[in-house]
Amino acid sequence: MKIFKLISFTMIILLVISCEDNLTELDNIGTQTADDYFNDPENALAGLNSCYAALQDDEYFIYGDILSDDAIKGGSSLFDWADRQYLKDFNANSGNAASEGIWSLMYTGIVRSNEVINAIPNATFDEDLKSRIIGEAKFLRAYFYLRLVSLYGGVPLITGDLSVDDLAVPRSTEKDVFDLIKSDLDESISVLPEKNEYALSDLGRVTKGAAQMLKVRALMQETAFANNEVLASSTDYNVDLNAVWNEVFSLTSEIINSGQYALANNFATIFEEEGENNVESVFEVQHKQTNNEWGESVGNTTIVQMGNRDDWGWCFNLPTDALYNTYLTTDPRLFNTIYGQEFGILYGIPQTWDKQLWTLEDDSTKDFVSSCRLNRKYALAKEDRASNHNNQDVNKRLMRYAEVLLAHAEAAYYVGQEGVARNTINLIRSRAENSTMPLGSKEGQTNNYSYDALSGAKVPAITSTGEDLLLDIWKERRMELAMEGIRYFDIIRTGRLELLPNESNYRSHDGLLPIPVGDVNAFEIAQNKGY
């Protein structure tokens, strides 16, 4: 049984509960305090489920893929959801709807998480369950803040319950935000169960391994302040790279040695229904199709956005030539990551591309794509597409064991264990070579789809040393994790700014997105450079 957000607190309810003591000194007859509400374990779990909701609505691909060199925006034209293009080009204004969307969504998750974190200690039910609930909420708060600090820099740190008399919160430093993230995750790691210690009814909840891996991500992103000259020069954040990489190596070693995870045998299965919550899954966002077409929903709202406009979908997040050409044509991952004019069979049906051809001719896109392509990882067969197209029953794979191994390999390189780095990378490459073409790759299959072999599949082992090995590790991350919302953050943390589609605009804005003008004005928040 998956976890879904059975109860979603509105901001009004949260503020009423949070601010109640500030509104009056008289007893509020008939009003339930936060402590009263969360003293019931069912209510506490329902409140916690509402914290997971912000993950369900996160359009991760805008920030991780479209802002990078792996994808162009797409859509029906340059002006379709143009705010996404403005973000990609780093020429957005402070009224940009896409930037406002992620900012508001992350803070909604933070406010909800704070309510759980601050109220549960006063509850009188089972102490182990209380600790687990707080651990899950702290993981989620850390996730939301990591997304914010990576995109906006130092942001207002809100950990308590805001009152109506004190809504102006100044921006904290990047170091302060990362310190909270790491502290929250340390506490989560200390109390959360391993993956196999949860009951089936709790499938999808945060585990110890997920908390360890999110801390790995945070530590690796922290290295941006040493490697990225724009971020390094615009902040006073000093990062001890040796300490960071030693901790990443230690954490990934613990995950590997836990025995909780393994690589799936066939890469092609990971993003099919059978791959949901599989042995490789460290953490994924649970989705279920429901009847509501728009607004908050437990269904996945991003799948249709990446579908073929000639068939079913809106044609966003289109893979670039640069990504396509990174793969060997003998690597099965190419065909399981990208489908398009080079290979256009989707669940037995040849695809057409008439509504995407504009990308090959428009001045804004033609230098990045020479063929029409789409993201195969989240493609759906006709019979699996829910009638409410904006509401699909497909989980988002947020962290995979392959990413653990890739982080371990990179850390091994930095701590002087090149042999470990090569061996770890080659585990992933061996799995790739022994994988198949995607499900339904043969034309004419309309049911009983099969996984068919790629003739001549070959993904040679890595034998490089020194800096070439580091470049191979980065390249492997790109191929293995492509179109999973990670590439942009990898570019930023490693300081390879020349790979960005518009490096000069990135530099002129200190590498940060605009903070929504409404919050800048209402809460007296200092705006980022150039906005």
In tens, the pLDDT along 483-520 reads: 999 999 999 999 999 999 999 999 999 999 999 999 99
Report pLDDT digits (tens) over 174-214.
Answer: 999 999 999 999 999 999 999 999 999 999 999 999 999 99
pLDDT for the residue 387: 82
In residues, how long is the chain? 531
Beta strands in 257-408 (DSSP E): 281-285, 316-319, 338-340, 345-346, 349-350, 373-375, 396-400
Amino acid at position 342, single letter: E
Please say if the pLDDT value at position 28 is more than 80. no
Q: What is the DSSP string of 219-283?
A: HHHHTHHHH-HHHHHH------HHHHHHHHHHHHHHHHHTTS----S-GGGTTSGGGTT-TTEEE
pLDDT of residue 315 exceeding 80, the answer is: yes
Tell me how far apart the alpha carbons of residues 491 and 478 are, in angstroms, rounded to a whole number: 10
Number of helices (H), then strands (E), in the chain: 20, 8
- pLDDT tens track for 32-61: 788 889 999 999 999 999 999 889 889 999
The region that residue 90 occupies, defined by phi over 0 for left and psi between -120 and 50 for alpha, beta otherwise, is: left
> Averaged over 307-319, what is the pLDDT?
96
CATH architecture for the domain at 39-523: Alpha Horseshoe (1.25)
Ordered by start, the domain boundaries in the chain are: 39-523
Say if residues 54 and 112 touch (Cβ distance below 8 Å). Answer: yes
pLDDT in tens, 437-470: 999 999 999 889 999 999 999 999 999 999 999 9
- Among 19, 101, 91, which Cα is nearest to 60's? 101
* Phi, psi at 284, each rounded to 5°: -140, 150
- For 251, residues 6+ apart whose C-beta sits below 8 A from its C-beta are 212, 213, 215, 216, 219
pLDDT-based confidence at residue 390 (cuts at 50, 70, 90): confident
pLDDT tens digits for range 127-169: 999 999 999 999 999 999 999 999 999 999 999 976 656 667 8
Q: Is the pLDDT of residue 436 over 80?
A: yes
pLDDT at 425 over 80: yes
What pLDDT band is residue 4 in, cutting at 50, 70 and 90?
very low
pLDDT higher than threshold 60 for residue 81: yes
**Does 14 have pLDDT greater than 80?**
no
Confidence of residue 296 (pLDDT cuts 50, 70, 90): low
Q: Which tokens is 54 given?
A: 């912000």
146 secondary structure, DSSP code: H
Query: What is residue 388's predicted lDDT score, i.e. its pLDDT?
Result: 81
Question: CA distances (Å), 277 to each of 192, 269, 272, in order?
Answer: 18, 12, 11
Over range 112-120, report the average pLDDT.
Answer: 96
pLDDT of residue 191: 98
Per the prediction, the chain carries an average pLDDT of 92
Q: Tell me the pLDDT band of 10, cut-offs 50, 70 and 90.
A: very low
The pLDDT, as a whole number, for residue 9 is 32
- Predicted confidence at residue 33, as pLDDT, reads 80
Q: Is the pLDDT of residue 19 over 60?
A: no
Q: Which of 259, 201, 206 is nearest to 2 (CA)?
A: 201
What value does the mean pLDDT take over residues 108-128?
96
Q: What are phi and psi of 285, to 5 degrees?
A: -85, 125
pLDDT of 23 over the 80 cut: no
| CB count in 10 Å sphere of residue 497 | 17
pLDDT the model gives residue 165: 61
Question: The tokens 């989240």 sit on which residue?
Answer: 378
